[in-house]
Amino acid sequence: MSKLDVMGVYCNYTIQGSGKDVILLHGWGQNTQMMQFIQDHLSKDFRVFNLDFPGFGESSEPTSAWGVLEYTEFLHQFCILNKIENPILIGHSFGCRVSIRYAALYPVRKMVLTGAAGLLPKRGLEYQLRTKVYKLGKKAVQLTGSKTLEESLKNHFGSTDYKNTSGVMRESFVKIVNEDLAPYLDKFDCPVLLVWGDQDDATPLWMGKVMEEKMKNAGLAIFEGDDHYAYFHQSRRFCLVLDAFFEKDKG
């Protein structure tokens, strides 16, 4: 296990194997453990980096709120410090946001994106009503001047990921989830494998289909009967899919 100062943040990561470079990028609220089986599997043919994003696992938090662009620049600087060029990126959920922005700016050999976040969700009537109630409640609470009541209101209406963060990471989360990455989907030519659980309610399957359509060189593999963590639940199947996708990149 190694530590590296990247953009003023201490980044925790591990390296296994040798060959072409692979970087594993976990989802929001996760850490290297969720991607460890991928590193173990691929390290026989590749040099695999498994890192904790800033603010997660054993990496330190950024000193100010970061959006996707700052996390992307962090990844770029990480690559420079480790002499990584033209990497293969494997991301889950939030890690896919960073992968997409990175590939739009820098050379990437291939990408595997599973349960990829980055498209704004379709908002129904229930969401709109909930938002109106929250805004009215927020105005009422602000009149009292009570920070405790204001925090309680945010926790009541916020998502699970929002509730599980605080301080600079909560500010980062708000910035990140409100950014639409649709404009970047056609900005790279590298082959992309999209892996999706058809019961995913965090990043619904329609998002995967849109990404497959908008990306220049993408294919979609659907894991039936599984959710946002399909890659993890069906780890053996996922590794077999990776082997097929990376067959010509080994060594």
Q: How many CA atoms lie within 13 A of 64 on its CB side?
A: 3
Asked whether the predicted pLDDT for residue 233 surpasses 90, the reply is: yes
Q: Which CATH class is domain 2-120+178-249?
A: alpha beta
Report the C-alpha gap between 35 and 112 in whole angstroms: 13
Asked whether the predicted pLDDT for residue 88 surpasses 90, the reply is: yes
DSSP code, position 27:
P
Output the pLDDT for position 129. 42
Crossing angle of the two packed helices 167-177 and 68-81, in degrees rounded to 10: 110
Q: What is the mean pLDDT of residues 75-83?
A: 97
Say how many C-beta atoms besides its own lie within 10 A of residue 166's C-beta.
Answer: 12
Cα–Cα distances in Å, from 182 out to 72, 186, 190, 211, 243?
Answer: 16, 8, 17, 8, 28
Domain boundaries, the chain: 2-120+178-249, 125-166
Output the pLDDT for position 251. 72
